[in-house]
Structure formats: C-alpha cells, structure tokens
C-alpha cells in the first residue's frame, strides 16, 4: 500500500471544471504536448503528397511554376518593378514568405473541421491542430530556401549578411498566419462558410501584397494604408534580408511586427473562448 501511495504522489492531478470564459492559451500545457504537435505536423507532411506520382517534386515545382508565370506576366508583359533585382529572383524571394503564410493560413483555417473525430473523441489542446498545420509548411520553406540558394548561385548574386535575420522574419510570418488561421479555424467550426471565404481572402491578400510587383510602385501618399497589411513588411523584409541591396523597410516592418503580435494574441483569445463548445457544435 505504501508503494501505491508513493505512486499516487507523483501522479498528475487533473481537475475538470468549467473554465473561466476569457483566458489566453496555456503555453505551458502546449509545451507539454509538444510531441503531439510534432507528430501532427509530421502527419501533415507525410499526408501531403501521398499517392502522387511526382511526390516531393511538387514542393519544388509549385513555387518555380508560380515564379515563371509571374515573370512572364508581371515581369515581361506588364513590366512591374523589381527594385533593380533580376525579376525571377525578386518574385521567388517574395513567394517564399508568402507561401508559408498562405499555406499555413489555408490549411490551418480548415484544419479543425477536417479533423472532427479528433475533436469529438479525444482531449488535447485543440490549438495544436492549426499550429501543427502551420509548422508543417516549414518543410516547404526549407525546400524553397535551398532552391533560392541555388538560384542565387546561378545568377551569381552574392549572399548578404542580412540573411541572418531570416529566422526572425519567419517567426513573424508564422505568428501572423497562426493568428489569422486559428480565428478562421474556430469560426469554421460554427459556420462552414468560412471555408469558402478563405481562398478569396487569400487571393485578395495576395494582390494587396508586394508579391509580383515592387512596393515602390505604391504612391508615397498611400503608403501608410498600404503598410497596414502586415505582409508588406514581411515580404519586403525577406527581400532586404536576401539581397541586402534594397533599403530596409523600417516603417512597414514595425507595422508588421505590431499587427502580427496583436493578431496572434487576439486569435489565441478568440480560439480559447470558442474552444469550449467545439465538441458540442462541430
């Protein structure tokens, strides 16, 4: 019995009771579930190109094809500015953060409704699901980054020391996409309409971001409103980090930083508030 006693002593106690209405995500709990987060992210990656002929080649093809299209339409036909950088490189550098953002938003936004069984049958911090989806895009990021290095070598563009700031910019991108993603994910539980809204939002957001064109094309007087889009600072920041030749987008990045942080925490609050009823509503 004493043996049992000592066994109970280090058993973890769980208290199940109604939770306060407003609270932030429990980051300690999240840390305890880090293995599950990793497994779910791994699952997303494993699942993505199952039963495809080209398999992982898709990860390489997707950004390359988009770059080629951008180069023809915006670079050659329309002559969109590229800040004196080879247009192909300019477009590709912008696509790297954009793909991380749009894919983690797209996947994260519909992630809960795709995993209904997980939500109605088993407990774990729900927010892990959209976050795992966001993190799984890091694989695409890694592959794109290697392609970028190859492209830089081919075009004989010297690497800039500012490239060391990429991890920070990447974290910012993930925070923003997770913030927006969890808002959509939780609203989607209640109304599936958001599944259909999401692709439109992403499309509009794409045109509102300096992806195919240079943000220098935006008239000075409109910059204050243009920079409100946190992706402006992030994309320009990526280009600055990679090429080092364009000017540091100070204002836009400050905007990005503040908005991303606000959206991230707002998303966590909303998610947590709605989370309580997920299993009953979904």
Partner 1 sequence: MTELILKCENLSKQYRIRPTKGMGWRRNQRVLVDDIAQFTNLFRGKKRNNHKVSFWALKDVSFEARRGDILGVIGSNGAGKSTLLKLLSRVTEPSHGRAIINGRVGSLLEVGTGFHSELTGRENIFISGAIIGMSRAEIKNKFDEIVAFSGVEKFLDTPVKRFSSGMEVRLAFSVAAHLHPELLLVDEVLSVGDAAFQQKSLAKIKEVSENGGVILFVSHNMTTIASLCTKAIVLDHGNVIYELGNVPGAIEYYLNFAKQAQLKHKAESKFTQKSTLVKINDFNLIDANGITLDTLTSGAPVDFMIDYSIDPAVNLEDIGFTILIKTLNGDVIANLSSFKEMRTFGISNPSGQACCAIEHLPLAPGTITMSLVVERKGEVLEMIEDVFVGEVDRGGHLREHILKERQGWVEIEHDWRMG
Select from 2, 12, 217, 221 the one that contacts partner 1 (CB under 8 A): 12
SS3 77: helix
Binding mask 188-207 for partner 1 (x = CB under 8 A): --xx----------------
CA neighbor of 31 nearest in space, from 104, 100, 131: 131
Q: Quick one: 41 or 89, whose CB is closer to partner 1? A: 41
Q: Residue with structure tokens 């770059």?
A: 67
Candidates 64-72, 135-143, 149-157, 274-282; binding stretch for partner 1 (CB under 8 A): 274-282
Distance in Å, CB of 148 to partner 1, minimum: 30
Distance in Å, CB of 105 to partner 1, minimum: 22
Instruction: State which of positions 28-67 bind partner 1 (CB under 8 A).
Output: 35-36, 39-40, 42-43, 46-47, 50-51
CB 230 within 8 A of CB 114: no
Q: Quick one: 7 or 28, whose CB is closer to partner 1? A: 7
Q: Determine, following the binding rule CB under 8 A, whether residue 276 of this chain makes contact with partner 1.
A: yes
Instruction: State which of positions 87-126 bind partner 1 (CB under 8 A).
Output: 117-124
Residue 127 to residue 85: CA distance in whole angstroms: 40
CA 109 to chain centre: 11
Q: Quick one: 77 or 117, whose CB is closer to partner 1? A: 117
Residue 69 to residue 92: CA distance in whole angstroms: 11
Distance in Å, CB of 280 to partner 1, minimum: 6
Distance in Å, CB of 9 to partner 1, minimum: 9
Residue 140 to residue 138: CA distance in whole angstroms: 5
CB 88 within 8 A of CB 66: no
Residue 122 to residue 103: CA distance in whole angstroms: 26
Residue 220 to residue 186: CA distance in whole angstroms: 38
Q: Residue with structure tokens 């991108």?
A: 173
Residues at the site binding partner 1, with contacts judged by CB under 8 A: 1, 4-5, 7-8, 11-19, 21, 35-36, 39-40, 42-43, 46-47, 50-51, 117-124, 190-191, 273, 276-277, 279-280
């Amino acid at each position: 019995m004493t043996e049992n006693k000592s066994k109970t002593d280090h058993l973890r106690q769980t208290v199940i009771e109604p939770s306060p209405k407003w609270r932030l995500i429990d980051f300690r709990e999240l840390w305890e579930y880090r293995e599950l987060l990793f497994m779910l992210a791994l699952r997303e990656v494993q699942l993505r190109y199952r039963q495809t002929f080209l398999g992982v080649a898709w990860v390489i093809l997707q950004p390359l094809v988009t770059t080629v299209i951008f180069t023809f339409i915006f670079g050659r036909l329309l002559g969109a500015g590229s800040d004196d950088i080879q247009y192909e490189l300019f477009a590709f550098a912008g696509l790297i953060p954009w793909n991380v953002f749009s894919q983690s938003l797209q996947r994260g936004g519909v992630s809960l409704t795709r995993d209904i069984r997980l939500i109605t049958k088993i407990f774990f911090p729900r927010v892990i699901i959209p976050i795992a989806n966001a993190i799984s895009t890091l694989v695409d990021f890694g592959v794109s980054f290697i392609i970028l290095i190859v492209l830089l070598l081919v075009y004989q563009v010297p690497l800039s020391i500012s490239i060391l700031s990429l991890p920070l910019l990447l974290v910012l991108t993930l925070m923003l996409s997770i913030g927006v993603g969890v808002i959509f994910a939780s609203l989607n539980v209640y109304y599936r309409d958001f599944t259909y809204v999401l692709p439109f939002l992403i499309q509009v957001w794409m045109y509102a971001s300096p992806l195919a064109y240079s943000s220098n094309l935006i008239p000075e007087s409109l910059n204050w409103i243009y920079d409100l889009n946190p992706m402006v600072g992030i994309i320009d920041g990526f280009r600055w980090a990679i090429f080092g030749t364009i000017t540091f987008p100070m204002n836009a990045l400050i905007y990005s930083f503040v908005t991303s942080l606000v959206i991230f925490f707002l998303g966590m609050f909303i998610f947590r508030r709605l989370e309580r009823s997920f299993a009953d509503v979904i």
